[in-house]
A = this chain, B = another copy of it.
Amino acid sequence: MIIRNVNELKNTDRSVSDAQWTSVRMLLADDQMGFSFHITYIQAGSEHTFHYKNHFESVWCVSGKGSIEDLETGEVHEIKPGVMYALDKHDKHTVRCEEELVLACCFNPPVTGKEVHREDGSYAAPDEAA
């Protein structure tokens, strides 16, 4: 049994930050659960475009306010507490944040923690060099 507290991991190497977001990796590939689980904080006023070509991701909003735009269809959906979006088609998307978002995120395949976002907004597949 693994026990971890997001508040205790915020200042450790399990917390990864980029421009205007921080992601605390609660579970990674080496935990061998078959998925990874992250608590991600997105700063108010920021905008992020991602395209996880090699991963399925679900994101459930714990708190905050924003929106997600499906860049394929142009549809915009509100993000607020209780709302989940799931990128079942590896959907390229833009997240816009009005009030700091706290998000519970699952990735399959699990993120190793060593990925970087590439220019196209994706992470490398597990068997591919980053």
Contact = CB atoms under 8 A, between A and B. Distances in A.
If over half of A's interface residues share one DSSP class (helix, strand or loop), that class is named, otherwise mixed; here it is: strand
A87 B4 contact: no
B58 A88 contact: no
Contact of A31 (B3, B31, B32, B88): B88
Nearest to A24: B82
A27 B83 contact: no
A34 interface: yes
A93 B34 contact: no
Contact of A106 (B62, B106, B109): B106
A19 interface: no
A39 to B, nearest CB: 7
Nearest to A34: B108
Contacts of A58: 26-27, 33, 35, 37
A121 to B, nearest CB: 15
